[in-house]
Each structure stands twice: as C-alpha cells, then as structure tokens.
Amino acid sequence: MGEREIPTVARLRPFGSTIFHEMTSLAVRTGAVNLGQGFPDSDGPASMLEAARAAISGGLNQYPPGPGMPVLREAIADERARFGVDYNPDGEVLVTVGATEAIAATILGLVEPGREVILLEPYYDSYAAAVAMAGAERRTVALTFDGTRYGLDAAAVEAAVTEKTAMIVVNSPHNPTGTVFTRADIEAIADIARRHDLLVLTDEVYEHLIFDDAVHVPIATLPGMAERTVTVSSAAKTFNATGWKIGWACSTPPLIDAVRTAKQFLTFVGGGPFQPAVAHALTAERAWIGGLRESLQRRRDLLAKGLDEIGLRPSVSNGTYFVCADISGLTDMDAKDFCRMLPERFGVAAVPVSALADDQQRYRSQVRFAFCKAEDVLVEAITRLDPLRDGL
Ligand SMILES: *Cc1c(COP(=O)(O)O)cnc(C)c1O
C-alpha cells in the first residue's frame, strides 16, 4: 500500500498501536517467556467456573438487566460494605464490561469536552484514551521515585489543578509500579478534591492483591468523598478471569446515573452467564482470594529476588501483578530498545514503563515485569535473564 493518511480520527491517532501489542507479538514470534502482558496463566476458583457453565446450561444467555443482575449487584454492594462504604445495590451499583468500560463510561458521562483530567503517571493506558474520546485534556503528574519506591507528590497534584480541572484519576494499588498509596496519600488527594470541588475516579482492580503490611484505603471511605467519587473494580484480577470482562462502578445516584447514561450506549450490557458466577465467587470464595494473595506475594518475592541478583534493580512492589526494575546498572540503553532486544536475545518479554507515561525521559531505564505467572515460568525467565549480569 502506498503512503496515505491514516483514517483514524485525530484525537485517537496517538493511541493507534500499543507497545503491549508489539511486545506480545515479539514474544510469540520468538517463543519468549511473556512477562509483558499482565494476565495469569491459571484459572479462578473451580466453583466460579462451574457456576458459569451452569448459567449457560440453565439458559441465562439473553440480555441481563441494564444495571446488571440483582444477585451480582448485591454481592458487589456487600463487597464494598466490607471495604467500608455502603452502596444501595438498586441505583448505586452498575455492572460493566470490565473495569475498562467503567472507566470509559465514567469519563464520558462526567467530563465535558475541553475540561481537564489529572492522571498520575505512569498510568494505565486506557485512562488517556478515555479522556481523548471524551474530548477532554489530560494533565499528568509524575509519581515521585526515590530509587526504591514510587510515591505521591501531593503538592504537584495540587499545582496541576486549574479552573478547567474536572476529575482526578487515582489507581491504588498502582499499575505499573506496585505502589500502594498510604492513608496520608489518599487523604491528601481527597483534601485537594474537596477544596477544588473535583470528581474522583478511583480504579481499585488490585484492591485484594496487597502484600506485606500494606493497607488498601478506598478514597470513598473518607469524609465527603463518597458523593464525589466513582469507585471502579472488576473480577478480572481478583479471580484470575481477565477474559470475562465483568467489572463495576459504584457511586451515589447523580454520578452513577451519568455513568450509566454513557455505558448503556457503549455496550448496553455484557457477560450474562458470567454475572451470577462472579456473584457466587464474591460471596463464597473469599478464602480463595486470600490464597491468591499469598501465592502472588511469594511470586513477587521470587521475581524481585531474581532480578536483584542479576543487577536489574527492582523497586518496592506492595501490590498488583507487577514489579518495575531499573536497568541502568547494566546498560545505558533506553528501556524501549532494551525491551525490543530482550525477547530475541534472552527469550523474555517485558514492557518499558515509558509506554505508560507522557514523560519518556523520566522512565528511560524502567522496565515492568509481571509476576502473575506460574513459579516455574518465573524461574525459567530468571534463568534466561541470568547472562545479563555479565553485561550486554
Ligand atoms: C487490568 C486493569 C484494568 C482492566 O480491567 P478489566 O476488568 O479487564 O477491564 C483496569 N485498570 C487497571 C489498573 C488494570 O491493571
């Protein structure tokens, strides 16, 4: 084909091809161990899988109700109550097609074109695309990095607020860094939101995947926050079911009505037979979640220790599926070039953190590795990376 203008609309053109796609195809082509994309290589609780099969056999194959099946909305409301916020399952809980749709519908339904949304970078890539789809502008604030741990600079968030700011997006536990914001961090963001009358979108998909002595503080639990916050989560990460795309948004009626207005014309509904299965898991598989957390913490330890011994300095990860590593002790290479070289020469795929950021320079030596894989897969990856310790 000859040279011609790509027909994608201008506001979406920057999102055309993602580094995840590039890295995964590279991993497939080279047979590399894929620690790039964050999906588990084992299934969720057996009783949840069985409940989905039973729902299909039992004829739950037509459109579920617009806001989601009552049994799932009740299970989600119980789940939020355990975290300390009471939502009415009728009118304050909305089932979505994954957290991804909940995020897009929240921004589309609540942010006017031309307004600004504050993102903390590095950030999950769908936030920026959703802001662009809404015709809004993103303002990014970098997390701090002291060489060991990524953290929040509340003063920088405050400084990014303008008359146009409509919303702050918070993600804790944080993808890609694994940082779990402290109570003081969450209080500082809440304070800014209240003083400037801003909405908050909080992405809590890793809320159960927390290690060591870290504590998850949902921002909606703080005074004056429930009525200005949309809380988003999903079954994907809690139950090893990233392909099911069952997510949810919770908020008070004026906000959730706006989210529903956008959502009903994105997909209307989704995942009929998976909804009762996730409801079952949220209710009956609490112990399974505890087991997942423990095993992920062990796998985090295994990968972080392996990276450290090779000289790829891992930073502190207290949650999520990910640990970030600093390659500058081994090479001057930009992390993007490093990640393009890695599958071919060492048989491992990873993702440069700059792919999740606007500021390319700041993250030029940071690489994200996923540890949500079987232990033998992680051991194999470390074995393959081992020759790196002798340099490139
Ligand atoms: C995986 C992920 C999502 C998407 O969740 P789905 O339910 O699969 O749509 C959203 N936010 C973050 C931070 C994630 O890592």
Joined together, the tokens standing for residue 376 give: 């033998």
177 CA from centroid of ligand 1 (Å): 14
330 CA from centroid of ligand 1 (Å): 32
Mutate to test the pocket of ligand 1, among 97, 119, 237, 321 (most ligand atoms within 8 A of CB): 237
Atom of ligand 1 nearest to the CA of 234: 7
Amino acid of residue 47: S
pLDDT along the chain (392 residues), means of 10: 73 86 91 93 97 98 98 98 97 98 98 98 97 98 96 98 98 98 98 98 98 97 98 98 98 98 98 98 98 98 98 97 97 96 96 95 97 98 96 82
pLDDT at 17: 79
278/49 Cα distance (integer angstroms): 9
Atom of ligand 1 nearest to the CA of 174: 13
Residue in 192, 199, 277 with CA at minimum distance from that of residue 239 = 277
Beta carbon of 121 within 6 Å of any ligand 1 atom: no
Share of the chain residues as helix, strand and coil, in percent rounded to the nearest 5: 45, 15, 40
Task: Kindly report the pTM of this predicted structure.
Answer: 0.97
Beta carbon of 319 within 6 Å of any ligand 1 atom: no
Residues 6+ apart with CB under 8 A from 175: 38, 124, 205, 206, 320, 321, 322
Beta carbon of 100 within 6 Å of any ligand 1 atom: yes
* 151 backbone dihedrals φ, ψ, rounded to 5°: -145, 180
Beta carbon of 221 within 6 Å of any ligand 1 atom: no
278 CA from centroid of ligand 1 (Å): 16
Beta carbon of 204 within 6 Å of any ligand 1 atom: no
Q: What is the 3-state secondary structure (H, E, C) of 300-321?
A: HHHHHHHHHHHCCEECCCCECC
pLDDT at 3: 59
Atom of ligand 1 nearest to the CA of 101: 9
